[in-house]
Structure 1
Amino acid sequence: MDPLTSGKYPEIMREKVGERLPEFTEEESKLLAGSFDFLGLNYYTTNYVSLVEPAPDTFPSYETDPGVEYSTERKGIPTASNWLFVCPKGFKELLLYVKEKYNNPLIYVTENGRGNDVNEHAHSLQDSQLDTYRIDYYYRHLYYLLSAMSEGVRVKGYFAWSLFDNFEWKNGYLVGFGLYHVNRSDGSLDRNPKLSAKWFADFLQKPQPKPNLN
């Protein structure tokens, strides 16, 4: 983001990456700075990280450049996806960080959502449709989104991930993220709304009480 907002990479990144980082001419920097119309932001979960200095013989790469290690102890409520722990407060913290760090850009939340609590094939269609945990996820994340907007964050749009159960790179079709269930067991691919789809439609039509944030 730094090149798109200031026309240059941050100094700490130059120190870490060195000659592998491209140099911009003065003209290129001017063209880059402020050249985006909006920022598309994805948020699912929050992780802990700790500082780690790579060993001297470590081959430099995108993964080693940050010099951090992700903790196996995650913050939040676990889900069927081992990388996704529910932590809605982190959503607001990220939005406020972007506001302060990048001069309050216009933001579209392009992905926000969670998968099922259990393996998609481990329960019936009826069970898949009773996704109260997904309603809780969206409700609390949207509350913190509204809270961030009340503090000046410029969010123009929000996209739930996702409309239909989809193919996930890590879990395939085992963990459905959709507001609509897709029946793949008999090959029909029938779409059936989950409870979260009905809740979302209602949520958009009328005011809601403050969610339980505990």
Structure 2
Amino acid sequence: ARRALSFEVDWFLEPIFFGDYPREMHKLLSSNLPKFTSEEKSLLQKNKADFIGINHYTTIYVKDCISSPCDLKAYEAYEANALVLATGERDGVAIGRPTAFDGYYDVPEGMEQIVKYVNQRYKNTPLYVTENGYSQHSNDTMDKLINDVERVNYLHGYLTCLSSAVSRKGANVRGYFVWSIIDNFEWTFGFTVRFGLYHVDYGTQKRTPKMSAKWYRDFLMGSRPTDQVQMLRADS
């Protein structure tokens, strides 16, 4: 897990804060990594960064492919280079509730863990959660898209764990941004998945607030979670 984080998180942050790539990357990639001159290292460490932004949606398991070889040809480059196999299941059990985005699961405690990890490793630098959200299938019924209980439940769980990272662990979190305010064109997934708090009719461009938009408004105003969240948690 530590090695996987080095290739997906520390790859970007370690040069900025410490002037070089992570030790784990050097160990596996050696001469394939670019070299920083002494002047470049000095500039990086002197300027550092004013804040760190994290896009966080899910948590996954990783399997070590050094002690137990894996077929990594079909996997992402970072996994193959890190010699890990990423998976959402362990012993046949999913790590959390699946979402419309393939490989993305509802695992709220992961929010606290990643915030704690980054804050401790990078000297309590101010941190912003720049993206966090829940995906729906666009071909769901209109009633399910608007009454998005799963998204409300997701946001409630992740914000609770983010709050815990701040209050219990002292994480230096300065802001949080939901992805996204409206349904949008989602990269290679196009219009097939929806992340918005507001439903968009792509033909007419009409915007309709979902249950999550109303819940988030109430949350920001300091209201208690909606009955729908409490009901969903009671049924889970």
TM-score (norm 2): 0.80
Structure 2 counterpart of 1:93, one-letter code: Q
Within the candidate set 68, 80, 83, 1:67 is matched to: 83
More helix by share: 2
1:169 aligns with: 187
Tell me the CA shift for residue 83 of structure 1: 1.4
1:159 aligns with: 177
Within the candidate set 39, 43, 59, 1:27 is matched to: 39
Within the candidate set 124, 137, 140, 2:157 is matched to: 140
Alignment of 1:47-58 (within 5 A): 47-53=60-66
Within the candidate set 106, 113, 122, 1:86 is matched to: 106
Alignment of 1:1-214 (within 5 A): 1-33=13-45, 35-53=48-66, 62-73=78-89, 74-116=94-136, 119-124=137-142, 126-150=143-167, 151-184=169-202, 187-208=203-224
Structure 1's unaligned 5+ residue stretches are none
1-side partners of 2:78 and 2:56: how far apart?
A: 21
* Seq. identity, %: 40
For CA contacts below 8 A with separation 6 or more, give which structure has more relative contact order: 1
2:6 aligns with: none
Q: For residues 138 and 72 of structure 1, do their structure 2 counterparts lie closer, same or farther at Cα, with a shift above 3 Å needed?
A: closer
2:9 aligns with: none
TM-score (norm 1): 0.88
Paired residue secondary structure (1:40): strand
2-side partners of 1:207 and 1:145: how far apart?
A: 18
Paired residue secondary structure (1:65): helix
**In angstroms, what is the RMSD of aligned CA positions?**
2.2
1-side partners of 2:155 and 2:79: how far apart?
A: 31
Structure 2 counterpart of 1:190, one-letter code: K
Paired residue secondary structure (1:167): coil
Structure 2's unaligned 5+ residue stretches are 1-12
Q: How many residues align?
A: 205
Tell me the CA shift for residue 121 of structure 1: 2.4
